[in-house]
């Protein structure tokens, strides 16, 4: 009988505590614990003499500094993360034997890293790009990593083409430009000559590629996996994360402006939300297909460029993840966390998706170079909460001190331990799928339809979303210098929609295709953000106020706060502003330090005593918000200013002339954008 290891009952947070240190009020020492009497001057031969090699403190300090940086991730370099917990709604024992998916009363600690894909570690965060959405579950059976994106499909079907894709989208090697952008020749040349990318490109050109917040974007496991239950029965599965705040996006001009105003916009938003107690929440959803139904659909369920339409295969919501704690140290946690789709637990297995199969190799290989060797699993952020024992030894960064002479299997000196655990007692066993065939370099005929789901995506968009996609293509291809590449892309996407291709061709001076779009026979409402949840919670409102504001303002602000809205005062200086009744409001921002693009709505109050410069600054805020289709509110002097500028009487603009100002303004904020507004 094999000896079972006791489960470590410490939470992940408790486990990490043993690695934390607070240097405040401590004596300065070397890394060996030697107390130091001086840390400003190196050891010299005389006050003006050369530095001596025997200065061990200088050498230790400089050596550590010289080696502080590790190679950034080739992709997903720009990321930010948070801790949280996952709780199940109902047992999934029907589908899987994974223990963390059995008991709704058990909370599983998680660590989630969000990221852009193409840019370097120092790039801006609101660029047009897919976003990584990687979740590490610290379960009692070991770590399980769900490593996905905010887009449910990918550019390529086979992992062998991944280096080609990334080489194409990265800055062009001859001049190292552009950074964190796909609007250049090599990317679009790749797209035109690898037409399996059509579906993913449609998503990338949509609003999904410029999320409003990491808290307001969906996550997808992308690949088809297997769930296996205790009886050995398997189902195909796709994983989803659904944000409880809905799925919302920026507009392109706004995204570009934010990149200059606050390149840390998304991480700041996530950090501040958690610090404020507005914890981001996502529901875990699964789509399930019986194995016997694998070939039932008009697409191959193993093709990573295809999604499973939610109207055909519904998403079952099975649990909720809450992010409730920021990291203590970005490098130690966010940068050193090592995800891998091959980190699974019993009851979760793989499919033959060729992109997934390649990822199962490449992720370990990547961690070896980034984190210095095979012991990256011993870094605190990567350590499982359950014990781990095997015959692996030594290597860079080894922290475990293994006792005894035995480091091999099989053995008698240690009673053949550590010993394998039978599947019936929790040992992992791969699903026994029958596999046969010739060794070939090819792909299934069922993978060769590259356009039907791209067309499904287009047909599912609202008119506004289609306009944004056309503009995105026009912008990106407008940056391409090769006329041949531009024309190839137009010709390619005529297979998706001639309406799309014709308008893009007109914008970039290419030859438009002939013909018309076929009548729409199928669409998927779940793909349109128009159908998303719309709540006012956590929305930030710039409240533009001057001295001598109306005494009614604090009451309005309190009403907004009661709905989870975050009003922040903007004025000319950071000095408190005073109302006519003697009340005071703390100013958080000035016109110089802030901008309307950093807020979800603008509320213009002003005052009769505000000067002309203040009025112009306030209207600049309001005008930009108006052009970005954001909600605008105005009371007191602000109403006159909006009227004079012609910004009143438009959808989403609410003034104090209505008796329900506060309620109507909250409703306008909930809508997120007001696309029916006429913007010149």
Structure tokens at 160: 């062998």
Contacts (Cβ under 8 Å, ≥6 apart) of 225 = 236, 237, 238, 239, 348, 349, 350, 351, 356
| Measured CA distances, 113 to 72, 136, 242, 636 (Å) | 14, 9, 16, 44
Return the number of other C-beta atoms located less than 10 Å from residue 291's C-beta: 12
Catalytic hit among 57, 143, 149, 150: 149
* DSSP-assigned beta bridge partners for residue 44: 51
Catalytic hit among 57, 76, 184, 377: 76
Nearest residue to 557 via CA among 548, 567, 549 = 567
The b/e string for 66-105 (b: 16+ C-beta within 10 A; e otherwise) is: eeeeeeebebbbbbbbbbbbbbbeeebeebbbbbbbbeee
Q: Helix, strand, coil: what percent of the chain each, to 5? A: 30, 15, 50
DSSP tally for the chain: helices H, then strands E: 16, 18
What is the DSSP pairing of strand 601-606 with strand 540-545?
Answer: parallel
Concerning whether 31 is annotated as a catalytic residue, the answer is no
Task: Provide long-range contacts, Cβ within 8 A and 24+ apart, for 326-330.
Answer: 326/82, 326/83, 326/271, 326/274, 326/275, 327/81, 327/82, 327/83, 328/16, 328/20, 330/80
Q: Residues 212, 216, 221, CA angle at the centre, nearest 5°?
A: 120
Q: E-assigned strands of 89-233? A: 107-116, 131-139, 142-149, 219-220, 225-228
Spatial distance between the Cα atoms of 13 and 17, rounded to a whole number of angstroms = 6
- Phi, psi (rounded to 5 degrees) for 117: -100, -50
Contacts (Cβ under 8 Å, ≥6 apart) of 483 = 510
Q: How many residues appear in the chain? A: 680
At 401 the three-state DSSP class reads coil
DSSP 658: S
Please identify which residue in the block is written with the tokens 């291809």: 477
Concerning whether 402 is annotated as a catalytic residue, the answer is no
Strand 653-655: give its sheet, edge to edge: 589-590, 566-571, 540-545, 601-606, 632-634, 653-655
Spatial distance between the Cα atoms of 287 and 293, rounded to a whole number of angstroms = 13
Gyration radius from the chain CA atoms: 28
At 93 the three-state DSSP class reads coil
Calculate the CA dihedral of residues 415, 419, 422, 427 and round it to 10 degrees.
160
Spatial distance between the Cα atoms of 11 and 15, rounded to a whole number of angstroms = 6
Report the first-to-last Cα separation within the chain, whole angstroms: 77
The b/e string for 334-348 (b: 16+ C-beta within 10 A; e otherwise) is: bbbbbbbbebbbbbb
Nearest residue to 500 via CA among 466, 525, 465, 527 = 466
Q: Are 30 and 36 in contact (CB under 8 A)?
A: yes
Residues annotated as catalytic are: 76, 149
């Amino acid at each position: 009988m094999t000896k079972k290891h006791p489960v470590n009952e410490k939470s992940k947070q408790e486990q990490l505590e043993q690695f934390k240190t607070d240097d405040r009020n401590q004596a300065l020492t070397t890394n060996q614990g030697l107390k130091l009497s001086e840390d400003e001057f190196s050891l010299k031969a005389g006050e003006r003499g050369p530095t001596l090699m025997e200065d061990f403190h200088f050498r230790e300090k400089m050596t550590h500094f010289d080696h502080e940086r590790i190679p950034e991730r080739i992709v997903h370099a720009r990321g930010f993360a948070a801790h949280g917990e996952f709780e199940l709604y109902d047992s999934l024992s029907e589908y899987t034997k994974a223990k963390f998916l059995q008991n709704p009363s058990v909370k599983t600690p998680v660590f989630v890293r969000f990221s852009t894909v193409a840019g370097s570690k120092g790039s801006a965060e609101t660029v047009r790009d897919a976003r990584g959405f990687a979740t590490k579950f610290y379960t009692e059976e070991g770590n399980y990593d769900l490593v996905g994106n905010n887009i449910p499909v990918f550019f390529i079907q086979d992992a062998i083409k991944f280096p080609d894709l990334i080489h194409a989208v990265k800055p062009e090697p001859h001049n190292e430009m552009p950074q964190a952008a796909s609007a250049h020749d090599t990317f679009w040349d790749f797209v035109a000559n690898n037409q399996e990318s059509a579906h993913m490109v449609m998503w990338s050109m949509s609003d999904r590629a410029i999320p409003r917040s990491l808290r307001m974007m969906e996550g997808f496991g992308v690949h088809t996996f297997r769930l296996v239950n205790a009886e050995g029965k398997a189902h195909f599965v796709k994983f989803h994360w659904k944000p409880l705040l809905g799925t919302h996006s920026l507009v392109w001009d706004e995204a570009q402006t934010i990149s200059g105003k606050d390149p840390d916009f998304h991480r700041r938003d996530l950090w501040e939300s958690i610090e404020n107690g507005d914890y981001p929440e996502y529901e875990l959803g699964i789509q399930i297909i019986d194995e016997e139904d694998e070939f039932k659909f008009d697409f191959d369920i193993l093709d990573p460029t295809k999604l499973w339409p939610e109207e055909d295969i519904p998403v079952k919501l099975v649990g909720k993840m809450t992010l409730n704690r920021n990291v203590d140290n970005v490098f130690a946690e966010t940068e050193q966390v090592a995800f891998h789709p091959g980190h699974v637990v019993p009851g979760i297995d793989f499919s033959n998706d060729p992109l997934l199969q390649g990822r199962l190799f490449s992720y370990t290989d990547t961690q070896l170079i980034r984190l210095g060797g095979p012991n990256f699993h011993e870094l605190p952020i990567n350590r499982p909460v359950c014990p781990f024992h095997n015959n692996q030894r030594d290597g860079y960064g080894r922290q475990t001190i293994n006792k005894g002479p035995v480091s091999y299997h099989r053995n008698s000196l240690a009673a053949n331990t550590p010993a394998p655990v039978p599947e019936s007692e929790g040992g992992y066993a791969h699903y026994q799928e029958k596999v046969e065939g010739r060794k070939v370099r090819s792909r299934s005929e069922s993978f060769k339809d590259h356009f039907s789901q791209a067309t499904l995506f287009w047909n599912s968009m609202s008119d506004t979303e289609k306009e944004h996609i056309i503009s995105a293509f026009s912008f990106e291809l407008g940056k391409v210098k090769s006329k041949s590449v531009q024309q190839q892309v137009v010709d390619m996407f005529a297979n998706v929609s001639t309406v799309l291709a014709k308008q893009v061709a007109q914008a970039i001076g290419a030859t438009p295709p002939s013909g018309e779009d076929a009548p729409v026979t199928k669409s998927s409402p779940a793909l349109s953000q128009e159908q998303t949840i719309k709540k006012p919670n956590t929305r930030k409102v710039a409240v533009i106020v001057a001295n001598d504001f109306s005494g009614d303002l604090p009451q309005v602000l309190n009403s907004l706060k009661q709905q989870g809205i975050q009003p922040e005062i903007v004025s000319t200086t950071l000095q408190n502003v005073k109302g006519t009744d003697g009340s005071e409001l703390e100013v958080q921002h000035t016109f110089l330090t802030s901008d309307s693009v950093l807020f979800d709505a603008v509320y213009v109050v002003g005052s009769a005593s505000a000067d002309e410069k203040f009025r112009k600054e306030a209207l600049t805020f309001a005008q930009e918000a108006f052009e970005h289709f954001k909600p605008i509110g105005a009371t007191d002097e602000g109403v006159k200013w909006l009227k004079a500028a012609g910004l009143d009487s438009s959808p989403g603009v609410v003034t104090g002339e209505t008796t329900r100002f506060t309620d109507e303004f909250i409703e306008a904020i909930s809508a997120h954008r007001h696309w029916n507004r006429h913007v010149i």
